[in-house]
Structure 1
């Protein structure tokens, strides 16, 4: 990796983790919960300072982070955090809905980050509205009557706002018959087609192409920012479903090594394709490319953290929701056993992803 790719990688991961932990931090403070330490990174502290009883740390390993709250880690406190060691500021003493808001804030802030960056990217570069830019001769789309300029609005009853939604639907439903609704000259039309298999590329094609990005009005930019977040959230949820049903391999997951490889590839692509462009144009394209990638990473992290897996935010939220329904918490010792099992599972899973990413590089 070149030096800029390494810097970009650390900035991307640092931003996504910071926003996630800041969500926990902000709602903890709003609910009067003492924050013992707010840290970015893992391992030994590189830089550290204490302010109003909270230690703020930057750690050596540039992955991960934490927002350690009073009463959230077996009562462990920092000796410098004397101002927040009283019981009234303990997370465990807050009502269940306050605790739910604090735990849910991390993933929610990841979705907010994805939305803000999506709006910025769309504001500068537009969005890939599902217009048909052209049709390929003797392919199903042409035979079904689709023409250049048609705006596809739904596929098999699912609303379509981005051209990528059509592409991902076909990738997840190869060869499936498509009921397509489209608009031409302000008139709505419907047609049905069956994608054609291409042996050379081992995939199915409708026979349309697009990929252009269209400028939007300011209010449309906000609207399409939401569509962008929705697209990433729905895609990761459907992908997870396909992994569990065996339609996608477990190696589809990527960890830090996979993210690093992707970031390096994007940086190299921009540098190569814009070698003759001005520095300002290259810098703007680089920013928009990486920002668009952060949209995906942040939305994915939000979804993954909401999964009901022990030790993740979603697992903790599940126990809190059970408490809200029962009117009393699950015994701490039983919850601890479940979370420990979750930590062991996540550790094994992370090792698997690490080796999978390394194998991908050599392949």
Structure 2
């Protein structure tokens, strides 16, 4: 419940910023704003200040700004000459375009304020991201496993581009989704050449290929009431052996626990220079995964930056997130990214809600990412979206006259149909993730 409420609040912030852009530019352009609503459907709360009614509506999945004359040709009563001066439809096409574009532009500009603030407050960064791109585990039957990667391999270059950190390697893979990948890896001092066929996974970098970073089998948390806690394992314990099998990484630990399938085994751990032994039997979770109730130690470090450095990094990161979103859309249209990567409002609220329960800098970072996605989505040239209205305005500039009402109605119906199909797909993917895949 907390996750849902937090998700709605964070989504509300993004919608408010978007609609505020439309509202402010409409006011500057001399257009009368009739309603400013957060949400759709029946009103929950409303109040009128000046000439505008401000509402909070029932369905928290968007919002709208209703302007005088926005539905020109469909008004029940014709506008007076005085009202026409403040009508959206009567304004010059350049002003109408500015009003329409202001919403998504506000979403794209918001991270330029939020991200520098996050970097000044301090961001938690996984330490492995700046480590050399050395492989800790190769997922069985993955593209990487089929290509011949081994645990311990260190990536030297991707498609002849030299890489030195895990982050740099992930970034180099983003524009290569859908292309054949050629890796040079250092394997115990020898350079080995490996090739991966055209990658059709998500934009998760090395992980989408089946490559995981080095992660020691050190316990980060112990869940109360679970087998590990009952046996006496503690945070900071390093598991070195289960039964007759030596444990070198967290991934190997997970696999061995699954292989036990509930059978009791002896766990050997190192604790403060001592070697201890515990007999533990995993228990089965609802997701059909065998667990003993531990999570890995998160190797994180907090970094804080001064104002000017935070501003520079924030601007750069904003550009990266915009580029990542555009690459995702391009690869999705080209068929290189599966459609099941599309997420809908449920996933957005899940992401936002989970972030809202962490630290302040994570909230700001997730808000920035979602704001960019919302801004770019609204700029797509689909009737009903802001991008569709901008397209109509561009046609008006080129033809020197607006499209006929009938033409706009037909295109809007087509656009609405496409948008509904996209939303149905997104909702389907959300439901599959939520109810069929489980949390693991």
- Shorter chain as denominator, the TM-score bin is 0.7 to 0.9
2:86 aligned partner: 89
Residues 27-70 of structure 1: per-residue CA shift (max 9 Å, x gap): 00000011111100111111112222211111122221000111
Establish whether residue 317 from structure 1 lines up as the match of residue 402 from structure 2. no
Q: 1:222 to 1:44 in 2, by over 3 A?
A: same
Establish whether residue 139 from structure 1 lines up as the match of residue 139 from structure 2. no
Secondary structure, in 3 states, of the residue corresponding to 1:338? Answer: helix
Equivalent position to 1:246, from 335, 359, 374: 335
Superposition map of 1:1-363 within 5 A: 2=1, 4-74=2-72, 86-126=83-123, 132-134=130-132, 136=134, 139-141=153-155, 144=156, 164=167, 166-170=169-173, 173=176, 176-177=181-182, 203=209, 214-266=303-355, 270=358, 285=359, 287-362=360-435, 363=437
Secondary structure, in 3 states, of the residue corresponding to 1:241? Answer: helix
Q: CA deviation at 1:106?
A: 0.2
Q: CA deviation at 1:176?
A: 2.5
In structure 2, what is the Cα distance between the partners aligned to 1:343 and 1:135? 45
Contact kept? 1:133, 1:208, Cα under 8 Å: no
Bigger mean CA deviation after superposition, 341-350 or 96-105: 341-350
In structure 2, what is the Cα distance between the partners aligned to 1:103 and 1:57? 20
Unaligned runs of 5+ in 2: 136-151, 185-190, 197-205, 216-298
Q: 1:265 to 1:35 in 2, by over 3 A?
A: closer
Query: Which structure: larger Rg?
Result: 2
Q: CA deviation at 1:112?
A: 1.8
Q: CA deviation at 1:23?
A: 0.3
Contact kept? 1:132, 1:208, Cα under 8 Å: no
Higher percent of residues as strand = 2
1:183 aligned partner: none
Q: 1:155 to 1:23 in 2, by over 3 A?
A: farther
Unaligned runs of 5+ in 1: 147-153, 180-191, 271-284
Residues 110-165 of structure 1: per-residue CA shift (max 9 Å, x gap): 01222211111111125969984345386344xx4x9xxxxxxx99789x9x9756
Q: CA deviation at 1:232?
A: 1.5
Q: How many residues align?
A: 317
Contact kept? 1:37, 1:69, Cα under 8 Å: yes
Contact kept? 1:233, 1:299, Cα under 8 Å: yes
TM-score (norm 1): 0.75
TM-score (norm 2): 0.63
In structure 2, what is the Cα distance between the partners aligned to 1:100 and 1:202? 40
Q: 1:202 to 1:340 in 2, by over 3 A?
A: closer
Secondary structure, in 3 states, of the residue corresponding to 1:93? Answer: coil
In structure 1, what is the Cα distance between the partners aligned to 2:395 and 2:73? 23
In structure 1, what is the Cα distance between the partners aligned to 2:364 and 2:209? 30
Contact kept? 1:165, 1:231, Cα under 8 Å: no
Q: 1:87 to 1:259 in 2, by over 3 A?
A: same
